[in-house]
Amino acid sequence: MSSATSSERLTAAIERREADRVPVIPQITYATAQLTGVGLVEALHSPEKTAEALLAGQRTIGYDAIYAGWESSFNLLAEAMGCTMRYPQGDVPYVIERIVKDPGDVEKLAIPDPARSGRLPIHMRTVQLVKREVGEAVPVFVYVPGPFTLAGQLYDVDRLLRMTVKDPGFIQALVEVATAASVRYAEANVDAGVDVVVVADPTAGPSLISPKMFERFAAPGIRKVFDAAGAKGAVLSLHICGQSTPLLERMCETGAQILELDHMVDLAKAKAQIGDRVCLQGNIDPADVLLTGTPDAVAEAARRCIDQAGAGGGFILSSGCEVPPRAPIANVGAMVEAARQYQRRAA
């Protein structure tokens, strides 16, 4: 088979067909700053410098898509909705003051305008710059906050979890506003050139809430984001951190075409359980392998993932979660090289 483009590899994976090789798409954003020397905080305010680093990552390392963004989408949206952020030098920002302090604050929340609110215009410009450069050959992914996770940013995760029991009506109202914000953000990203909308919902994972609570508080919002992004032609992916095995069926039922699985998920079991319905993406350990392991250890982990889930297609080799900012570029390169060299045995 002659060499396919990255977009063709992704399409094949979503349709659960084999292409010339397994697509390899590490969830890498900040770590590309190592290639251009841009400061992590400096890039937060410069779409040009962020796009330059993201493009350098794809061109230098050769993976099959770009995650266009620079920080957790839930922080970006929380800030645009009125939360106060701290920007530590050389590290990733985080929320220091929440906008929702009690139930009465929910009705004061406004849905942010991607063209005007906070730093959303910087993000949108980054997406446009990246897509303009890579064109149709390389897909562009973006993280959109799961509404339940965004609600946790607006109000505080611990209190959110407690109030699902004490005042579920309040949490449902808060999640509804967060859903409207995530929907509008997702639509704007697709309009700006994004091909794959990845709903990132770490707070909705089984380590924090039960599958039953996922169905009640998180899944309806995820479906609304997918309905809106899907109507605009985007491919739909769902990212839930941690041990998501108990949630796999429910994750499928959201309408996701791709599931991003963390490193503790048994890929072979996931493939057997749901591999006939959805494309799986994962799941090299971001910390113990990509950050602190050797290139050989990365290559070995990559081959193991391909062995577990690559046969027949429907698999994207990736990190289990975001690539840490200081993960060695050589390790990300070893992942890409493993996909290039190893997968043909499946054909």
> Which residues of the chain form contacts with Zn ion (CB under 5 A)?
241, 321
- Minimum CB–partner distance for residue 45 and Zn ion (Å): 25
Closer Cβ to Zn ion, 103 or 325, answer by number: 325
Closer Cβ to Zn ion, 117 or 203, answer by number: 203
- Minimum CB–partner distance for residue 124 and Zn ion (Å): 23
**Among 7, 24, 133, 142, residue whose Cα is nearest residue 76:** 142
Closer Cβ to Zn ion, 175 or 241, answer by number: 241
- Minimum CB–partner distance for residue 260 and Zn ion (Å): 7
- Minimum CB–partner distance for residue 242 and Zn ion (Å): 7
Closer Cβ to Zn ion, 189 or 237, answer by number: 237
- Minimum CB–partner distance for residue 287 and Zn ion (Å): 11
Closer Cβ to Zn ion, 50 or 149, answer by number: 149
Closer Cβ to Zn ion, 100 or 236, answer by number: 236
Give Dmax (Cα) for the chain.
Answer: 61
Closer Cβ to Zn ion, 56 or 252, answer by number: 252
- Minimum CB–partner distance for residue 50 and Zn ion (Å): 20
